[in-house]
Amino acid sequence: MSTLKEKFKAKADEQAARVRKLMQEYGHTKIGEITLSQVYQGMRGVIGLVTETSLLDPNEGIRFRGYSIPQLRKQLPKAPGGHEPLPEGLFYLMLLGELPTEQDVIDMSNAWGRRSHVPNHVFDAIDALPLSTHPMTMFTIGIMAMQTESRFAKAYASGKIGKADYWDYTFEDAMNLIARLPRIAAYIYRRKYKGGDNIQPDHSLDWAANFAHMLGYDDESFYELMRLYMTIHADHEGGNVSAHTVHLVGSALSDPYLAFSAGMNGLAGPLHGLANQEVIKWIKNMQQELGGGLPGKEQIAAFVHKTLSEGKVIPGYGHAVLRQTDPRFLAQMDFAKKHLPDDELVNLVWRIYEVVPPILQELGKVKNPWPNVDAHSGALLEHYGLVEYEFYTVLFGVSRSLGVLASLCWDRALGLPIERPKSVTTEWLEQFVKGQ
């Protein structure tokens, strides 16, 4: 039977031939138009990237290789006795475009277990930082310190590889990085919040459960939450800040460690991945101001108006592309209804969901008044005792590695070139419209 790498190579060769044919036959076909506003407004709606791993529909949400989140929760292999998908299976699906068997997922878990050794100097680099450092900064520094291990960088520097080999070394780096990230993330958590009392990995567990174990949460229902969390945060097509950054930096043939760490710096922004910590911070402030417990709808509405009047956004609401409630929010809501329906914070998240959308709609400018993935995740983690909300974006980052590194393998396998769109000045645009 062929290995994962051989299967990927065969799929990549097929896809490269498909792309060549498409380019030859339709290379000059127009697939869109760009307005002047789009140039100033974050290129929203401009098709400018190919990302094979997932595609976002504004109303239905994300589909990974054609499968929606509810479908994946049913169809991807589960842990024995478990009900949530194993993220190993999602990585397999994103990489190869086909659903894995139970055995494929076991093989992936074992492969990541074998590749998971983190060299000591990575921990030393993290230890050199003051404890007050934000966990996302520790995370990116840990990843950068581990760049010494890049197979791609070593092979490129040796001068012995050519373009046709890049995918191979990218694949090796991607697999190693994914295998090692939970260890680095858990080390950061235990160092910053648990006095450096580290927990050794247990490779009899799957990737997400082992991560939960190293964080210090050995509870079957928390394992299930981590499997779901690691699955739903993995990918959101190619234009979001973290995915786009990994693709862009990787296009310079910066190795996967450099590219992934760059993407994580983007994820650390409050309008992107950091929103998950901002949500909990905002809710805690609300509870503090309103005397704790579960505030009423009118009290919540007043707090929302106050936040908006201070010129701030409501974290966890809105999206650049989505125009409906995020199915990632709904998957977490479904999980909470099953496992922790009476949790006060979770009930507050649900009450906020009833209050915020009409208020944002009334503003008249917010294109999507509905909650995104970040509106729900913190309340679930809090329930299990993971209350250190500055750490939440690291969890998002570990999961995001699955999508963006599968994509990076595809970038190199398809031989995509260095990314270099054209920029212009305002003067150039003024002259251009005058000439119309």
Torsion of CA 187, 188, 193, 196, to 10 degrees: 40
The answer to whether residue 20 forms part of the interface with ligand FCX (CB under 6 A) is no
**84 binding ligand FCX? (CB under 6 A):** no
For the bound state, the minimum distance from the C-beta of residue 339 to ligand FCX, rounded and expressed in Å, comes to 23
User: What are the tokens at 53?
Assistant: 């791993």
Q: Residue 304 interacts with ligand FCX (CB under 6 A)?
A: no
CB of 405 to ligand FCX, least distance (A): 18
- The string of DSSP codes covering 229-246 is HHHHTS---S-SHHHHHH
Q: Per-residue x/- mask for ligand FCX, residues 219 to 248, rule CB under 6 A?
A: ---------------------x--------
**Residue 268 CB, nearest distance to ligand FCX (Å)?**
11
Residue 370 binding ligand FCX, by CB under 6 A: no
Say how far apart CA 286 and CA 271 lie, in whole Å.
Answer: 20
Interaction of residue 39 with ligand FCX, rule CB under 6 A: no
DSSP per-residue codes, 340-408: -TT-HHHHHHHHHHHHHHHHHHHHS--S--SB-THHHHHHHHHHTT---GGGHHHHHHHHHHHHHHHHH
Nearer to ligand FCX, 92 or 396 (CB): 396
Tell me which H or E stretch contains 105. helix 102-114
CB of 320: closest distance to ligand FCX in angstroms? Answer: 4
Q: Cα 248–276–254 angle (5° rounding)?
A: 20
Min. distance of Cβ 390 from ligand FCX in angstroms?
A: 16
Q: Is 355 in the site for ligand FCX (CB under 6 A)?
A: no
Residue with Cβ nearer ligand FCX (205 or 375): 375
According to CB under 6 A, which one of 28, 160, 163, 365 is a site residue for ligand FCX? 365
Pick between residue 226 and residue 360 the one whose CB is nearest to ligand FCX.
360
Residue 365 or 422: which CB sits closer to ligand FCX? 365
Give yes or no for a contact between 49 and 31, defined as CB atoms under 8 angstroms apart. no
Please report, in angstroms and rounded to a whole number, the separation of the first and last CA atoms in the chain: 61
Please identify which of the residues 374, 376, 383, 411 carries the catalytic annotation. Answer: 374
**Alpha helices (H) along 27-67:** 36-40
Angstrom distance (rounded) from CA 342 to CA 161: 58
319 binds ligand FCX (CB under 6 A): yes
**Is residue 373 a contact point for ligand FCX (CB under 6 A)?**
yes
- In the annotation, is 197 catalytic? no
- In the shown chain, the binding pattern of residues 244 to 283 toward ligand FCX, with x for contact by CB under 6 A and - for none, equals ---------------------------xxx-x--------
**Within positions 374 to 393, which residues make up the interface with ligand FCX, using CB under 6 A?**
374
* Neighbour count for residue 203 (Cβ, 10 Å): 14
Question: For this structure, is 121 an active site residue?
Answer: no
- By beta-carbon proximity to ligand FCX, the closer residue of 167 and 317 is 317
> CA-to-CA distance for 24 and 281, rounded, in angstroms?
52
According to the binding rule CB under 6 A, does residue 315 interact with ligand FCX?
Answer: yes
Q: Which residue, 368, 363, 397, 392, is CA-closest to 380?
A: 392
Query: Annotated catalytic, 28?
Result: no
**How far apart are alpha carbons 338 and 224 in whole angstroms?**
12
Q: Do 351 and 294 form a contact (C-beta atoms < 8 A)?
A: yes
Burial of 291 (0-12, 13-18, 19+ CB in 10 A): exposed
- From candidates 316, 357, 397, 403, binder to ligand FCX by CB under 6 A: 316
Q: How many residues in the shown chain lie near ligand FCX by CB under 6 A?
A: 21
Question: Cβ closer to ligand FCX: 210 or 372?
Answer: 372
Beta bridge partners of 61: 57
Q: Residue type for 199, please?
A: I
Binding to ligand FCX by residue 397, rule CB under 6 A? Answer: no
- Choosing from 236, 244, 272, 383, which is the catalytic residue? 272
Residue (73 or 319) nearer to ligand FCX, CB: 319
Tokens of 62: 């994300």
Q: Is 367 in the site for ligand FCX (CB under 6 A)?
A: yes
SS3 114: helix
φ, ψ (nearest 5 deg) of residue 68: -75, 170
Rounded distance, CA 343 to CA 345, Å?
6
* Nearest-approach distance from CB 245 to ligand FCX, in angstroms: 12
Q: Which tokens go with 232?
A: 């739903």
Interface with ligand FCX includes 157 (CB under 6 A)?
Answer: no
Among 93, 366, 404, 409, binds ligand FCX (CB under 6 A): 366
> Does 305 contact ligand FCX by CB under 6 A?
no
Single out the catalytic residue among 134, 213, 319, 376: 319
Q: Could you list the residues that contact ligand FCX (CB under 6 A)? A: 240, 271-273, 275, 313-320, 360, 365-368, 372-374
Catalytic residues: 272, 319, 374
